[in-house]
């Protein structure tokens, strides 16, 4: 039937009508709040992140308290990023797998004091003196793939020992999902899930995160291990490999400039798809809202677009801002 019998505006005539016909809904369960925990901070101290308005680096005590408050508002899950002391960093990031490291201590506290699902970022870049996600060949500066797997696996195991629910490797070394699954299973942690940052692009939108986590590489860039933004077929290959190696959840990072990739993974794989609405996406919107160029409604529209593209889970710094409205 054509106009005038068919009138599309009937479906939009009131908020109540629009709400019952909404094709996409954002649920509290969809959101994962990322938090930065810094070892050197004491209780009562928090550092504002200059490039991320209203986001802070917390001490373990204050971070756990902040998460408890978000849990009261309905938050279900969090992902932890740790910042060790500068003098703890070395060439292989060994403090990343210390049983008493900042992430391990935070995991123990979260699991003891809340009912939140606890996810941990597994990487070396915040813990290595050179700031790369894997080990570096001293002679030519190459990022070493196979040598890095042993260390990344140790990090994942130490998080599992601390009680983490899900490990999320973000390093982009080849073969790390298999290596991590093996070490977890060999040590009795068959039930710890792996959320793989399988499609992680070398993106400028990470810039504020590097400020937040003090994780800029000391030399070069990450383009030999993170994906080229020009590529999408390659994303399918990355996802296939991680699926075969034992990933339970596939992740696309960043989100906004890669909605087509989220949709492609959702269409091609029968696994939950997560995405990281990264620091630059957060800061960009916050800055525009602060200047009056946009209103806060842009936040929900953005998150809905990510959900509509096919994301089942969204890691977002906005989680703290929108729990009350869900
Ligand atoms: Zn990294």
Annotation marks residue 253 as catalytic:
yes
- What tokens appear for 154 in the block? 């140790």
CA distances, 274 to each of 132, 147, 180, 194, 195 (Å): 24, 28, 19, 12, 8
Catalytic residue among 154, 200, 307, 320: 200
The verdict on residue 82 lying in a domain is yes
The verdict on residue 21 lying in a domain is no
The verdict on residue 22 lying in a domain is no
* Closest of 208, 251, 268 to residue 119, by C-alpha: 251
Residue 23 CA to ligand 1 centre (angstroms): 36
The position carrying tokens 């308290």 is: 65
pLDDT at 213: 84
Catalytic residue among 253, 266, 286, 320: 253
- Total domains in the chain come to 1
pLDDT at 216: 85
The verdict on residue 10 lying in a domain is no
Annotation marks residue 266 as catalytic:
no
Average pLDDT, the chain: 96
Residue 210 CA to ligand 1 centre (angstroms): 10
* Closest of 286, 140, 262, 133 to residue 208, by C-alpha: 286
Residue 126 CA to ligand 1 centre (angstroms): 7
We report the CATH number of the domain holding residue 116 as 3.20.20.70
* Domain encompassing residue 184: 30-325
Residue 16 CA to ligand 1 centre (angstroms): 45
Sign of the torsion formed by the C-alpha atoms of 13, 318, 97 and 198:
positive
Residue 217 CA to ligand 1 centre (angstroms): 9
Q: Is the pTM of this model over 0.95?
A: yes
Residue 24 CA to ligand 1 centre (angstroms): 32
The verdict on residue 299 lying in a domain is yes
Residue 182 CA to ligand 1 centre (angstroms): 21
Residue 128 CA to ligand 1 centre (angstroms): 10
pLDDT single digits (tens) 259-287: 999 999 999 999 999 999 999 999 999 99
Residue 170 CA to ligand 1 centre (angstroms): 6
Residue 201 CA to ligand 1 centre (angstroms): 12
The verdict on residue 11 lying in a domain is no
Please identify every stretch of the chain with a pLDDT value under 50, giving residue numbers as ranges. none
The verdict on residue 4 lying in a domain is no
Q: Burial of 224 by CB count in 10 Å (0-12 exposed, 13-18 middle, 19+ buried)? A: middle
The verdict on residue 141 lying in a domain is yes
- What tokens appear for 27 in the block? 């649920």
CA distances, 277 to each of 119, 228, 311 (Å): 16, 18, 11
The helix (H) or strand (E) run that includes residue 196 is strand 193-200
pLDDT at 321: 96
């Amino acid at each position: 039937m054509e106009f005038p019998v068919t009138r599309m505006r009937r479906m939009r005539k009131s908020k109540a009508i629009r709400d019952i016909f909404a094709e996409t809904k954002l649920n509290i369960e969809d959101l994962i709040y990322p938090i930065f925990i810094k070892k050197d901070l004491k209780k009562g101290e928090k550092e504002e992140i200059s490039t991320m308005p209203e986001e802070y680096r917390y001490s373990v005590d204050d971070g756990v308290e902040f998460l408890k408050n978000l849990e009261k508002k309905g938050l279900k899950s969090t992902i932890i990023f740790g910042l060790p002391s500068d003098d703890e960093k070395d060439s292989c990031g060994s403090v990343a797998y210390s049983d008493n490291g900042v992430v391990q201590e935070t995991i123990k506290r979260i699991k003891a004091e809340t009912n939140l699902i606890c996810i941990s970022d597994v990487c070396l870049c915040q813990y290595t003196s050179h700031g790369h996600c894997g080990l570096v060949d001293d002679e030519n500066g190459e990022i070493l793939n196979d040598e890095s797997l042993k260390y990344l696996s140790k990090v994942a195991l130490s998080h599992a020992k601390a009680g983490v629910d899900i490990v999320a490797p973000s390093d982009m070394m080849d073969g790390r999902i298999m290596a991590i699954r093996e070490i977890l299973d060999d040590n009795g942690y068959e039930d710890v899930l792996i959320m793989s940052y399988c499609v992680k692009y070398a993106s400028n939108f990470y810039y504020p995160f590097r400020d937040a986590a003090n994780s800029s590489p000391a030399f070069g860039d990450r383009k030999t291990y993170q994906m080229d933004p020009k590529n999408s077929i390659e994303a399918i290959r990355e996802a296939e490999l991680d699926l075969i190696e034992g990933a339970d959840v596939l992740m696309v990072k960043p989100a906004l400039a890669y909605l087509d990739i989220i949709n492609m993974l959702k269409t091609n794989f029968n696994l939950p798809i997560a995405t990281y609405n990264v620091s630059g996406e957060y800061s960009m919107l916050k800055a525009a809202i602060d200047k009056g160029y946009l209103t806060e409604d842009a936040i929900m529209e953005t998150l809905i677009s990510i959900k509509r593209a096919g994301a089942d889970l969204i890691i977002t710094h906005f989680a703290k801002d929108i729990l009350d409205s869900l």
